[in-house]
Every structure is written in C-alpha cells, then in structure tokens.
Amino acid sequence: MTQPATDSHEQPQSYPPPADLAAGAVATAALYEEAAADRLAFWGRQAAELLTWDTAPTQVLDWSDAPFARWFADGKLNAAANCVDRHVAAGHGDRVALHWVGEPGDTLTVTYADLHEQVQRAANALTELGVRTGDRVAVYLPMVPEAVVALLACARIGAPHSVVFSGFSAQALRDRVDDAQAVAVITADGGYRRGEPAPLKPAVDAALATTGPDGADRAPSSVKAVLVVRRTGGEVAWTEGRDHWWHEALEAASAVHEPVSVEAEHPLFVLYTSGSTGKPKGILHTTGGYLTQAAYTHRNVFDLHPETDVYWCGADIGWVTGHTYIVYGPLLNGATSVMYEGTPNTPTQDRWWQIVETYGVTKLYTAPTTIRTFMKWGEELVSGHDLSTLQVLGSVGEPINPEAWTWYRRVIGGDRTPVVDTWWQTETGGIMISALPGVTSLKPGSAQVPLPGIGVEVVDDEGRVLPAGHEGAGYLVLTEPWPGMLRGIWGDDERYRDTYWSRFRDQGWYFAGDGARRDADGDVWLLGRVDDVMNVSGHRISTTEVESALVSHPSVAEAAVVGASDPTTGQGIVAFVILRESAHGADAAAVGKELRDHVAREISPIAKPRQVLVVTELPKTRSGKIMRRLLRDVAEDRQVGDVTTLADSSVMASIQAGMRSGK
Ligand code: WTA
C-alpha cells in the first residue's frame, strides 16, 4: 500500500458550497441527522419516495442470513416502469430522456414517450425470441440509444442483463456468456470509434462459434438468439435462425407491453469485474435496493433538478458507472441526459466542450484519467467554449489528485462549480463516499464523507478503527449493509464470503480492497487498491488476468505483471516476461509489440501492457511466490525495497540493469 503524501494534502484549500446552489439544493444537512437517528427508517423513506412500488414493502432490511442481504423484500416493482412509464403517466412524455450524439455527428433526441414505446417493443421482441423472466441476456453494444432500451427491455420482463464492455474480446465475451449461461445476446454490427466504424458482430460470431480460436471443437454456447442493432451498416455474417435484426424485430413487435412485477430481490443484472484471481466475478445486483440507491445518490450527489438539468455522464455502459449513472439513476429521477458515442478527441480534442455548449450541460460526471488527458491537451481547447451552464462536476473511478481536481474546477467549472469526488465500486451499486454539493465544504483530492445512510471506517490490520488524523494508512471498510450492495457473486457464494466478508469476519464488515486514511477533520482520502487489482484509466484489471493472457502466448514461459503509477492513466501495466527457449534471440521490440497485441486480442485493448520487459528471472520468495512489490519498485524507478526474503537476491540487480539498458 502506498503511504499518503503529506505535503499539499495536509492543509488543503476548502471550497464552501456556492450560496445559490446551497439555497436551492435537494439535499441539506438534515439528511445526515435523519440517517444517523434511524438508518433503516431513512432508507425506508428513500425507497418509498423515490420509487413507485406495485406492492409497497413493509420491511427494510433482513440481515439474518448475513452476508446475504434482503432489502425491501416483501415489496414488488418493475425497474423499467419506474424509469419510464411513471414519468409518461405523470405527463412528462415529451421530456427529453436522451440527447444522443453519434461520433460522426449524427444526433437523436429520445423523449420519455419514445423510450416508452421502444422499451415495450423490445420487451415483446425478446419475449418472442423465447427470453423468459429470470433468463440472462448478454448485452454487447456500443454507446447507442438502443443500449439503454435493451437494458430496460430486459428489466421489463425480469430477465437480468449482463453487459459486456464492447471493447472486450470474443474470448472475454464467451467466458461471461458461459458463466451467466445467457440465452441471448444483444449486439450491433459495429460502432464508431476514433472516426472509423469498428465492427462488433464478428466478435459475437467468434464467441458463439463451435470452433474455438485454437481450431478445436467446443460445446455450443447457451445462446439461442442474437439481436443485432444496425449502426454502421457494414457487412455482417448471418446465422439463420439465430440472428435477428433489432429494427425488424421491434417493428414486428407490439408497442404495448405489461411490465412484469418482480420481487424486490429479483436479480436486475450481473456485471463482471476483475478480482484478484484471473476469473472475473459476476457481481449480482437485485431490483428494489439497487434502484433505491441509484435514485437517491444520483439525486443528492448531483443536486438533480429534473425540470431544468441537463446531465452528462461520460462513462461507457459497459461499466457500473454506465449502469447506475447513465441508465438507472438519471431515468429513475426523470432526468434529461446527454449520451455520446465516441472518443473525446474525435474529430477534434474539444468535442466534449462543443457538446456541453450545444446542450447546455449542467452536471458532468467523468473520471480523473479523462480530466488529466484534457489537462495535457491544454486549456485553450476549453476556453473557446461557453461552459457557463455547468453547476456540479463529478469525478469517479480512481483517486483524483489535487492538481487535477483544481484544474477541473477552475478550467471546466469556471472556478464556480463544486467538484464532488465519488468513491464506490461495482459491488456497491452506487456512490458511497462523496461530498454533497450544497452542503459540504470541498477539499481537493479527498472523497471526504460517507453519504447519509452509509457506514464507513478506516481500520488497521487487526480491524481497529484508526483515529482521525492518524498518520498511517489503513483499509477502507463498510460497517453497515446498504441497499445497493451486491447480493453475491453469480454462482459462487463462497467466493463472495471469502472476498468481501472474511477479512473482518468478527466485526461483520465489508472489505473494499482499498487503502485509505482519514485526516484530522475525519475526511477520507482513498489511496488505491491493496490487492492485485490494477486501476488503469479507471478500469479494474487484475494482474493475474494479464499474466494468464501473456503465458498463453507460445513465446512466453513465465510472466509477472504490476501496475506502475502513471501521470495520466493512474496506473500503467508493466509486464516482466521470461521467454521460452524457442524465442530466445528474438528482437526485444518486436516481442514487446507482439505480446502487447496478444493481450489486446485475448482480453481487450484496455489491458495492453504499457511496457513489456524481457527478463531472465523473476524475483521469487523461497516458497515460489512472485514478489510484485519489488517489480513495482523497478517499474516506478525507485530504490528496490527489502530483498532479504528472495530466494536469489541477485535477481533484482539483473532486472534493474535490463530496465536501465533501454528496455
Ligand atoms: C477505485 C467504479 C479513489 C477504487 C465506480 C475502487 C476510486 C474501484 C474512486 C472500483 C474514487 C472508484 N477515489 N478510488 N473516487 N472511485 N475508485 O468497480 O479502487 O470499476 O475499489 O467501480 O475503483 O472500480 P469499479
């Protein structure tokens, strides 16, 4: 774990809430008092007020089978009806739900009434294809409006969706489809990325093929139907009987669909995320509790006023941020959102600021990596645009350094807007630690305080709570169950207990896997992961996953991977590989490129190592465990730490020499 920096962090400047924002804010300090007085009653009120129930719940939390929680268990509702139907019924059908912007410049305005019709048609189309309540549906789509429709259509029939990021490889898609036993895949012919149409359907075909990438036969997948959105108009291979065009299926389907009323604990989605072993975990979220937390956090953290706000979350739907803060949170709150298909530098590096200006965006949510990239591109790109509509800026996914925080506020926010740093995880379903923009005085670089209703502590190895102002770093734990908490890992209860609940079993705390400290004011500073999970541009990638991909290459005998700090991406992946005899003497640069491309093919371009270093040995303990800590020292160009536990202490010297001699 890294130690917190003590320089500028110690006496940060503090930014009180702007007076006008505070005066009209949806969240006031009273929320903290209410939640502290009776936490469960507080959540009960949120669930009752923010959602529309078919059967109102009478219970809040059943924790009798901990760590398996049941929230609002005797209530019934439908997620899609909450996101769409009730707004139309309340007379807001003409309100824009999505201002969608395609990368090539095409745009689409989707109202709540449009969504209502599309979602009903899609729900009927899925039913026609044989998808039943409880079946899993994989979604592998670019950032097109159909992605939102697809998720809501699944939710409408009670079929949990499993979104797979469209940048993932065919193999990664297959692994996730198999694990969830998905019966259908919703995909597209392709999407636009960096000015070019990027095909997607071939990866689905490869994933579902009965011949594996190695040419060997493999079992047919569980998928019976593939729905294909036409986006790029490119040629696609077609499997008769299995493949169906989305537009044809929706056109043929009825525009009326009765939402399936499900129990609060009915699974809403499974979303895979990296853990500290190679196999991704299917994080399970259910309906009533997740939606409560999505609506509550989105409304209060972004101070959402649905009649006037234009909200934009720049994440991808393939990650949890997209689920909670592009789809469920904003739609539950009846918000108007911007959704953008492409990359921030296409066709020009001020694309985002054009969009903010065009739509009058008021609330913006993005990751520190993106902010640091904009910093690198220079503030001239921003200054030509009128961003005066912006009122609240959010940050998520990795610790935000104070420099990036102040730049975000000053350059994007015109030195007016609060910047809320929001800490949470796929597992938590929604934001857990964040300032409230109308209440909290902000401290650059700190996520600050748990939201009302959330219990957070920073503890040492033995589970002792570290007092505020304690100099050392500790572990972040969540001390109370919360409505949006994961309900388990798909098909693996034991891994769920082990991963999150065994470390502090006696106290019954959730172990988040993040290092943290609390300053003298009690504000929380996040310090990065304490396990073998890397955070690259806000994406969670496990070291073992990348190592497995590397050793699957015929030239590689052994591999060790570390996340090294990187000024833009937070961490960069550095791989140390030992080559097989057959590859000895190969050109190091060519090998490096080949292996980087190999990892991109096996997992995704996001998992591509920044650097590949060919070594002859790896630092191991006498019991054979790779000492990544030492490799991280090398990768970050630091003095190598204690090597006394190494089986052969000369190994590090030779690795360092290799690193210095030009990589
Ligand atoms: C990291 C993304 C510091 C953290 C929503 C966490 C953060 C992991 C922050 C979850 C933040 C997320 N400050 N670190 N504001 N937000 N993280 O599941 O390490 O993709 O455990 O969820 O990202 O990543 P995930």
* Least confident window among 147-156, 393-402, 638-647: 638-647
Q: Note the Cα 390 to chain centre separation in Å.
A: 23
Q: Is 271 in the pocket of ligand 1 (CB under 6 A)?
A: no
Nearest CA to ligand 1 atom 5: 425
Cα–Cα distance between 611 and 595 in angstroms, integer? 10
pLDDT of residue 35: 98
Tell me the CA–centroid distance for residue 398 and ligand 1, in Å. Answer: 5
DSSP per-residue letters across 165-193: -TTS-HHHHHHHHHHHT-SEEEEESEEEE
Nearest to 448, CA basis, from 399, 507, 500 = 399
Question: Between 206 and 470, where is the model more confident?
Answer: 206
**Cis link prior to 67 (omega < 30° from 0)?**
yes
Nearest CA to ligand 1 atom 7: 398
Nearest to 612, CA basis, from 663, 547, 553 = 663
Q: Give the mutation target among 284, 372, 423 for probing the ligand 1 site: most ligand atoms within 8 A of CB.
A: 423
CB 365 within 8 A of CB 312: yes
196-213 burial code (b ≥16 CB/10 A, e <16): ebeebbebbbbbbbeeee
Q: Is 426 in the pocket of ligand 1 (CB under 6 A)?
A: yes
Q: What token pair was written down for 340?
A: 């953008």
In this prediction, residues 45-61 reach a mean pLDDT of 98
Q: What is the pLDDT of residues 31-41, one digit of tens each?
A: 999 999 999 99
What confidence category does residue 518 fall into, taking pLDDT thresholds of 50, 70 and 90?
Answer: very high
Whether 11 has a pLDDT exceeding 60, the answer reads no
Question: Between 507 and 581, where is the model more confident?
Answer: 507
pLDDT of residue 12: 53
3-state secondary structure 634-647: HHCCCCCCCCCCEC
What is the signed CA dihedral for 547, 543, 502, 265, rounded to 10 degrees? -100
Tell me the CA–centroid distance for residue 211 and ligand 1, in Å. Answer: 37
Whether 2 has a pLDDT exceeding 50, the answer reads no
Q: What token pair was written down for 529?
A: 């992961």
What confidence category does residue 55 fall into, taking pLDDT thresholds of 50, 70 and 90?
Answer: very high
**Cα within 13 Å of Cα(447), Cβ side:** 28
CB 78 within 8 A of CB 291: no
Report the sign of the C-alpha dihedral through residues 127, 129, 132, 136, in that order. negative
Cα–Cα distance between 45 and 40 in angstroms, integer? 9
Tell me the CA–centroid distance for residue 533 and ligand 1, in Å. Answer: 11
CB 268 within 8 A of CB 79: yes
Cα–Cα distance between 202 and 73 in angstroms, integer? 42
User: Widest CA span of the chain, in angstroms?
Assistant: 73
Q: What token pair was written down for 209?
A: 């093929």
Nearest to 22, CA basis, from 416, 580, 602 = 416
Beta bridge partners of 139: 163, 186
Cα–Cα distance between 423 and 446 in angstroms, integer? 10
Tell me the CA–centroid distance for residue 456 and ligand 1, in Å. Answer: 15
What's the pTM? 0.94
One-letter amino acid of 150: A
Above pLDDT 90, what percent of the chain? 86
Tell me the CA–centroid distance for residue 424 and ligand 1, in Å. Answer: 5
One-letter amino acid of 149: V
Nearest to 242, CA basis, from 272, 192, 191, 207 = 207
Beta bridge partners of 171: none
Nearest CA to ligand 1 atom 8: 425
Above pLDDT 70, what percent of the chain? 98
Closest atom of ligand 1 to CA, residue 422: 15
Cα–Cα distance between 255 and 118 in angstroms, integer? 7
**Structure-token match 């636009």, residue found:** 192
Whole-number Cα distances in Å, 516 to 366, 409, 453? 22, 24, 20
Tell me the CA–centroid distance for residue 396 and ligand 1, in Å. Answer: 7
Cα–Cα distance between 228 and 186 in angstroms, integer? 6
Q: What is the pLDDT of residues 167-202, one digit of tens each?
A: 999 999 999 999 999 999 999 999 999 999 999 999
Backbone angles phi, psi at 450, to 5 degrees: -60, 145
Q: What token pair was written down for 59?
A: 């219970």
Q: Is 398 in the pocket of ligand 1 (CB under 6 A)?
A: yes
Q: Give the mutation target among 281, 395, 424 for probing the ligand 1 site: most ligand atoms within 8 A of CB.
A: 424
* Least confident window among 21-35, 71-85, 481-495, 628-642: 628-642
Whether 1 has a pLDDT exceeding 50, the answer reads no
Question: Between 468 and 276, where is the model more confident?
Answer: 468
Q: What token pair was written down for 606?
A: 């996001």
Tell me the CA–centroid distance for residue 430 and ligand 1, in Å. Answer: 11
In this prediction, residues 115-124 reach a mean pLDDT of 98
What confidence category does residue 140 fall into, taking pLDDT thresholds of 50, 70 and 90?
Answer: very high
Tell me the CA–centroid distance for residue 426 and ligand 1, in Å. Answer: 8
pLDDT of residue 4: 34
Region at 31 (left for phi over 0; alpha for psi -120 to 50; beta for the rest): alpha
Mean pLDDT of the chain: 94
Q: What is the pLDDT of residues 355-393, one digit of tens each?
A: 999 999 999 999 999 999 999 999 999 999 999 999 999
Backbone angles phi, psi at 501, to 5 degrees: -120, 0
Q: What is the pLDDT of residues 428-481, one digit of tens each?
A: 999 999 999 999 999 999 999 999 999 999 999 999 999 988 888 899 999 999
**Residues 6 or more apart in contact with residue 659 via CB below 8 angstroms:** 613, 634, 635, 637
Nearest to 190, CA basis, from 102, 124, 98, 313 = 102
Whether 484 has a pLDDT exceeding 70, the answer reads yes
Alpha helices per DSSP H over 360-455: 368-377, 380-383, 402-407
Cα–Cα distance between 182 and 161 in angstroms, integer? 9
Nearest CA to ligand 1 atom 25: 425
Nearest CA to ligand 1 atom 22: 425
pLDDT of residue 662: 55
Region at 443 (left for phi over 0; alpha for psi -120 to 50; beta for the rest): beta
CB 97 within 8 A of CB 112: yes
Backbone angles phi, psi at 283, to 5 degrees: -80, 125
**Cis link prior to 450 (omega < 30° from 0)?**
no
CB 618 within 8 A of CB 558: yes
If you ran DSSP here, which 8-state letter would residue 57 be given? -
Q: Is 425 in the pocket of ligand 1 (CB under 6 A)?
A: yes
